[in-house]
Structure 1
Amino acid sequence: MNRRDFLTLTGTFTGGLLVLPEFLHAFGSQNNLVVGEQCVVFVQLNGGNDGLNTFIPYDNPLYYDLRTKIALNKDVVVGKNNGMAFHPSLKDFAQMQQNGDLTVIQNVGYPEPIRSHFRSQEIWQTATDSNKYNNQGWLGRFLDVQCDGHLSSTAGINLDSIDNLALKGSEPNSITVKNPNQFKIKLNKGENVKLSDNPQLDFVRKIANSITEGSEEIQKALTKSKSEISYPQTDLSRNLEWISRLIKGNLNSKVYYTSLSGFDTHDNQLILHERKLTDLNDALYSFYQDLKQAQLLQNVTIVVFSEFGRRVKDNGNGTDHGTAAPMFIIGGNNKGTILGKNPNLADLDNGDLRYEIDFRSVYASLLKEKMSFDYSKIGIKNAPVSGLF
């Protein structure tokens, strides 16, 4: 078995019972990650969310001129503020901002944007320039430094059925798990195999031991927590409910990651986008209320983003791939404001919004303010966003 296959087996756990032979438990224990109270939860909107119909320039006549088929009427938008407002399905986003707990960062993107879903997601997940490649994610690199050589499989938790490049580092300091309640590892009692002189074999034993400990830590956290409010019956809501349980159970992971798909709205956008934003709104507001009730919202920063926005002009019944779009920051004692200028619909870049804030500046702010971490250590050169925290 090669290293990649082994990591796929041990690092990704999508449900059921993983049975490991006893010799893989023989490596000995690893030190747990020493962490503070702060953690960051990422919600990735896959498909390219239409930012202009999410946080809407309702007071700009060009919005209606360029989007004759899909513009939202100014009478239905909510949370009006300086010419901008939320999609009516995001009524609770407006409420969170009114509470001072949600910041909108406008016109987020990067130079020389790529309109491919896969490549743009890769750029966001690795925090590299659009003409450069990296096989390690920005959060994986952060966890490598943060863990300082002490393997900790629960430093990052990815709630999904597939691994996320953002969390990939030189050491497997994260776990991908679909259902934490089923993440239980059983060890076969058998012959105790001693450590060998083979570094590769010892490496996989080390990984297996870490995954075993990760399973144990997750189960401990679940036994110490419970769901205090009722979440909607959707996949995103269930994932955020699991994350809430793990946070309340003191798992002490630094990073949690999950996603919501379905934002590639080339056709029938008004109906499809309304459904996806309703899903997002209801799930995140439940999570927000849960954390607030547990008095943990100040310790948890929620980041909502997509790999790109959509074209400014509609295509008749939807929108095609674009560039810049808003990001949303909830909790973590953010300043609850709107950062960046309103979208300039009169000065477009080949039909697309010009980006104003590089997404890596947002990452720099998160690392500096929430993790007390020098972002330059993982290759981020952009200055932090001012006024976020």
Structure 2
Amino acid sequence: MCDKILSRRKFLRTLTAGTCAAAIHSALRPLGSDLVYAAPYSNHTLIHIFLSGGMDCASYLVPRGLSAYLDKRPTLGITNPLVLNSAFGLNPLMTNLHNLYQQGMVAFINKVGYPDATRSHEDSRRVYQQAMRIQGTDNRGWLGRFADIYVPRNQTFSLLSFSGSVRDLQSAYVPAVTTQGLDGYNYT
């Protein structure tokens, strides 16, 4: 059990620094869906933010122009989000992600789910991290399986976790680095 707690503020600061650390290098294509608020295909970094508990999607990808949002969140609702498009804004504390979005370097995928969910927090977390409904003998995570296919075997620092959890990063060939932050790293 880790004694360190990663606050949301430190998480966002670390996430911004982590964009330079390159999560996965591969040939990504936009999904072509209206659920992707995105940059056009250009470069080779995928940053996956998995928020386990506490902060839901509507706390960072804020619906705009929906009175029902503020009716349901009278004290938590965000009234002045950073504009992404006519439908959504970004939590104003996420200015670095907003800047990356404006540069065409960040995409947001909304309404992620799976059919016939069990409503079990643990089951859902496993499904999202492994992208498999049935637990079997393949313990690799969805990002790990992706990396096994697209990441060159000699590439270093391809899979990186700031939470200490690597279930979604488990790979047959590509090692994952886990850390609680960038404080101990020197970049030159």
User: CA 1:120–1:64 in 2, change beyond 3 Å: closer, same or farther?
Assistant: same
Question: 116, 123, 136: which one pairs with 2:140?
Answer: 136
Q: CA separation in 2, counterparts of 1:136 and 1:102? A: 26
Paired position in structure 1 for 2:58: 52
Specify the structure having the higher radius of gyration (Cα).
1
Question: 163, 166, 169: which one pairs with 2:168?
Answer: 166
Moved more, 82-91 or 154-163: 154-163
- Gap runs ≥5 in structure 1: 1-34, 179-234, 250-389
User: CA 1:133–1:91 in 2, change beyond 3 Å: closer, same or farther?
Assistant: same
User: CA 1:161–1:138 in 2, change beyond 3 Å: closer, same or farther?
Assistant: closer
Other structure's SS at 2:46 match: strand
**Contact preservation (8 Å) 1:53, 1:71:** yes
**Contact preservation (8 Å) 1:53, 1:87:** yes
Q: CA separation in 1, counterparts of 2:158 and 2:62? A: 34
User: CA 1:91–1:40 in 2, change beyond 3 Å: closer, same or farther?
Assistant: closer
Other structure's SS at 1:85 match: strand
Other structure's SS at 1:109 match: coil
Paired position in structure 2 for 1:311: none
Same amino acid, percent of matched pairs: 23
Question: 120, 125, 131: which one pairs with 2:129?
Answer: 125
- Gap runs ≥5 in structure 2: 1-24, 27-42
Could you tell me which amino acid in structure 1 is paired with residue 115 of structure 2? Answer: P
Could you tell me which amino acid in structure 1 is paired with residue 81 of structure 2? Answer: V
User: CA 1:159–1:166 in 2, change beyond 3 Å: closer, same or farther?
Assistant: closer
Alignment of 1:1-389 (within 5 A): 38-47=44-53, 49-73=55-79, 76-79=80-83, 81-129=85-133, 132-134=134-136, 135-145=139-149, 154=156, 156-159=158-161, 162=164, 164-169=166-171, 171=172, 173-178=174-179, 235-236=180-181, 238=182, 245=187
Q: CA separation in 2, counterparts of 1:144 and 1:41? A: 17
More helix by share: 1
CA shift, 1:59, in A, is: 1.0
More strand by share: 1
User: CA 1:168–1:103 in 2, change beyond 3 Å: closer, same or farther?
Assistant: closer
Could you tell me which amino acid in structure 1 is paired with residue 58 of structure 2? Answer: L
Could you tell me which amino acid in structure 2 is paired with residue 79 of structure 1? Answer: V
CA shift, 1:163, in A, is: 5.1
**Contact preservation (8 Å) 1:143, 1:155:** no
- Equivalenced residues, count: 146
CA shift, 1:146, in A, is: 5.4
User: In the TM superposition, what whole-angstrom CA distance separates every residue of 1:244-290 from its partner, at most 9, and x where no partner exists?
Assistant: 94xxx8xxxxxxxxxxxxxxxxxxxxxxxxxxxxxxxxxxxxxxxxx
TM-score (norm 2): 0.57
Q: CA separation in 2, counterparts of 1:52 and 1:93? A: 16
Q: CA separation in 2, counterparts of 1:142 and 1:87? A: 29
**Contact preservation (8 Å) 1:158, 1:175:** yes
**Contact preservation (8 Å) 2:65, 2:87:** yes
**Contact preservation (8 Å) 1:138, 1:166:** yes
CA shift, 1:127, in A, is: 0.9
RMSD of equivalent CA atoms: 3.7
**Contact preservation (8 Å) 2:131, 2:142:** yes
User: CA 1:127–1:48 in 2, change beyond 3 Å: closer, same or farther?
Assistant: farther
Could you tell me which amino acid in structure 2 is paired with residue 122 of structure 1? Answer: R
